[in-house]
Structures are given as C-alpha cells and as structure tokens.
Structure 1
Amino acid sequence: MYDNYAKVIVKGSPITKSNFKLFNVNGRAILPMNSGKYHDRYAIYEEEIAFNARSQNPSKVLDEALIAVLKVYYKSEKRHPDTNNITKSIFDGIEKSGLIINDAQIRRLIIEEFYDKENPRFELELFGESSFSMDYSIKPREILEEKITYNPPSNKKKALNDRMNISAIKPKISDNICEVCGKGTCKENLISANKGKTLICRTCFKKLF
C-alpha cells in the first residue's frame, strides 16, 4: 500500500455546517459544542470525522498535493443537504484529525452522490499527486436512463413564477424607440405617424406643437 494514500469512511447521514456557524468577539467562525443549540450537532460531527480519519489511518500524515474522490451516500433521495456544501464539513474534520496538513492540499476533487437508506455514509479517498494522476471521461450512454429532474425550493418557486409571468407580459422597449429622441419606451407611450412608419413618444410629440 502506498504511503501517500488514505481512505476514510464515516457512517451516518452526512451533514453540513455551512449555515450554522457562530462568531466570537474577534470575528472568527466557531462551532460551540455545549451551546444547547443545533450548532452542537455540527461540531460533534466534525469531531467524529476527525476520530474516524485518525483511527482508520494511524500514524499517517499526508503533506503533499492531493487528489480526492468523495462518495456521499444519503439516506433519502428527496431530503438531504447540498452536496457541494458537504465538502467543507468533511475536509475540516479531516484536517482536524492531522491526516492532512491543510485542506488547501486538495487540488483535484471528484464528488459523487448516491443513496443508501440502510447505510448512509461518506467514503473519502486521498491520493498523493507524486504517485497518482487523475483521468476521467464523459461519454454518451448506450442505453438512456430515466431523467432525474429538480424543482426549485418552495420558498423560491413563487418568486420564479412571478418573474416568468412578468417577463412574458413586459413589452420589449428595445422595439419601441422614439424617432425624435432615440429613447426606448413602452408601446402605450408612442404615437405612430407617417402611416405607422414613424414612432414618436408623447413627450416629443407635445414639443412639436
């Protein structure tokens, strides 16, 4: 086995702390463990990651640039954190374990999302770039799979629909330009002349008389 390779498996539903930070008087982000609030859950999870990383890779320290392959297994397909936010929680815990020096060592990262109702977890593999390289390809499927579609969150769905409805009825100002002042305006503010070939805004029309 290579000295610059490590694998960490942490059981349980992966969680993120990105929205649960508190700040001390110096403005530094902290995660208290005894505040009596949900913040505790995230601080404890970070400690759990650190414990597993160290116990599964005793006496190992990776101090070079790394390639990371992260596989996240959620319990539910419908309700789970944003996978992109999971990485911060995980790598902070890995760094705390001493397995790596700094999460800035992760120069290449592949994240894959899966679902396992019976055994939610994450599996992280770390490869030292001095011994490993990364190669990947994306190619068309020979047999198409069922499409996985996503809907906007309920709190954003109404706003999205409102914007779409407004854009559908909003007149195109760029098509309604006054021939005199050259400014765009809504169609209701224009008067046609020269058998409809010329458009003049009401302000310029008044100035003509």
Structure 2
Amino acid sequence: MSNYAKVVIKGSPITKSNFKLHNMNGRAILPDSSGKYHDRYALYEQEIALIARSQNPDIIFSESLIALLKVYYKSEKRHPDTINITKSIFDGIEKSGLIVNDAQITKIFTEEYYDKENPRFELELFSESEYNFNYTVTKKAIPTQPKSYSPQKKTLLNNLSTNHSLVDNLKNKINAKPIDTCLREIDKASKCTVNNKAKLCNICSKLIISDDYIKADSGKTLICKKCFNKLF
C-alpha cells in the first residue's frame, strides 16, 4: 500500500466557492454542460480527477492524510482566495478515486506563490500513519516590506443613499427616463438591500431593483432571473 502521492495540475487554479446553485429540493448543483462560463467549475474538477488518477494510477488512500499544497498563481494582484481554493482541488481529488473522502485530510499546509509562465498547483499527500507534520514560526531578524490588502468593493457597499458609485450605476441604468420614473426606480432600489448592502447579481454584477432573483449559498449569492435563465 502506497504512503505517498503527488499531483501537479497546470493552469491557473480556480475556486467555485463564490458560485453554487440549489435546485427546488435544496440540493446543490454545479452546471457542466450548459455552454456557459460557469461550466468551468465542474470541468476543472473533472480535469483534476483525470490527471490525478493518471499521475497515480494504482493508489487509493483509505486512511487519514497529511496534505502539502503549493498554489502558483499567474498574477500576484488578481487571483482567487487561497483559503477557498482547497475545496475545488480536493473535490477533484476525491472524484479521481485517489482518496475515499476529502474528510481524510486531517492536516493541511497551504503556500501561495506566483509563476507567470507556469501557473499550477502541486499537491503532496502523506499517510498519517507513517509521516509526522511539523512547522515553526520564527520572527524575522530584519522585517520585510508588508504586503497590504485593500477591502473588496462589495464589502464597501453601504446604503444606496450614501454610495455615489452605485447611484451613478443606477443613473446610467435609467438614463433618459422621465424624472418621476427615475424617482420610483431610486426608491425601489433603496429598499432592495440586504443588511444595508445593495443587492447585486453575482454573475453580471448589476443592481437588482426588484424581488425577481434567486438565492444560493444560504443567501450569500444572489442571481438575477435573467442570468439564472441563461444557465439552463
């Protein structure tokens, strides 16, 4: 029985954490043949499954595992959250049959790197019965330049009445309409908020100014009916 396996998948890693739909019974669904952009999430899992199995043809882990994951993004400025990338990867690894269930991963260490010419991820799996996992955190003798992050635009959305960019978006949307129609549109949009945040479609990023939308991920994801209909 093998106690080690390594999987290398070339290409920019992606995450499906921001997109998931549920059917009428509440079951999660992930389109893979709609011909739309969002098929890529399911197709990425399938790619991982096929390559992982081809690189480790005779290995099936049934015990607890230690995972070391190195993710190489193409761009340092624009890439998925590394904390979310593991779900897509291990769902693909589970589909490959390399592991029985992703719950087997009891220890995981993830590192983020950048490689413009060769984006990829490298995953090493070790049987916990034969390997130990240790790490240390030490203080630098000479501090380096901090890598700072800015809040995402969506987290900065406040009430419509105090958000100028959203107001401008709405103005463009209802441009050339009579003033009384504009006022009704603005009043409707100001009421369409969730926890004082404007409702935006997670696919087209347009303002939702009615109750005609679909909720996913326990209400974290909103999809307007127009985008939802395009998926099927």
| Structure having the higher Rg | 1
CA distance in structure 1 between the partners assigned to 2:123 and 2:17 by the alignment: 19
CA distance in structure 2 between the partners assigned to 1:38 and 1:106 by the alignment: 30
CA distance in structure 1 between the partners assigned to 2:103 and 2:90 by the alignment: 9
Kindly state the Cα deviation for residue 136 of structure 1 after the two structures are TM-superposed: 0.6
Kindly state the Cα deviation for residue 71 of structure 1 after the two structures are TM-superposed: 0.6
2:26 equivalent to 1:27: yes
Kindly state the Cα deviation for residue 158 of structure 1 after the two structures are TM-superposed: 6.0
CA distance in structure 2 between the partners assigned to 1:63 and 1:158 by the alignment: 46
Maintained 8 Å contact 1:50/1:97 = yes
CA distance in structure 1 between the partners assigned to 2:75 and 2:91 by the alignment: 24
2:93 equivalent to 1:94: yes
CA distance in structure 2 between the partners assigned to 1:55 and 1:25 by the alignment: 37
Report Cα offsets for 1:14-50 as digits up to 9, x if no partner.
0001122222343221212111222211111000000
Output the amino acid matched with 1:26: N
CA distance in structure 1 between the partners assigned to 2:61 and 2:32 by the alignment: 28
Look up the match of 1:56: 55
- Length, aligned pairs only: 159
CA distance in structure 2 between the partners assigned to 1:28 and 1:9 by the alignment: 31
Kindly state the Cα deviation for residue 66 of structure 1 after the two structures are TM-superposed: 0.4
For the residue of structure 1 that corresponds to 2:71, the secondary structure is strand
Query: Identity of counterpart residues, as a percentage?
Result: 66
Look up the match of 2:177: none
Look up the match of 1:71: 70
CA distance in structure 1 between the partners assigned to 2:131 and 2:71 by the alignment: 22
**TM-score, with normalisation over the residues of structure 2?**
0.65
Look up the match of 1:126: 125
- Root-mean-square deviation (CA), in Å? 1.6
Give the unaligned 5+ runs of structure 2. 163-232
For the residue of structure 2 that corresponds to 1:91, the secondary structure is helix
Kindly state the Cα deviation for residue 143 of structure 1 after the two structures are TM-superposed: 3.0
2:41 equivalent to 1:42: yes
For the residue of structure 2 that corresponds to 1:55, the secondary structure is helix
CA distance in structure 2 between the partners assigned to 1:39 and 1:120 by the alignment: 21
Maintained 8 Å contact 1:21/1:39 = no
**TM-score, with normalisation over the residues of structure 1?**
0.72
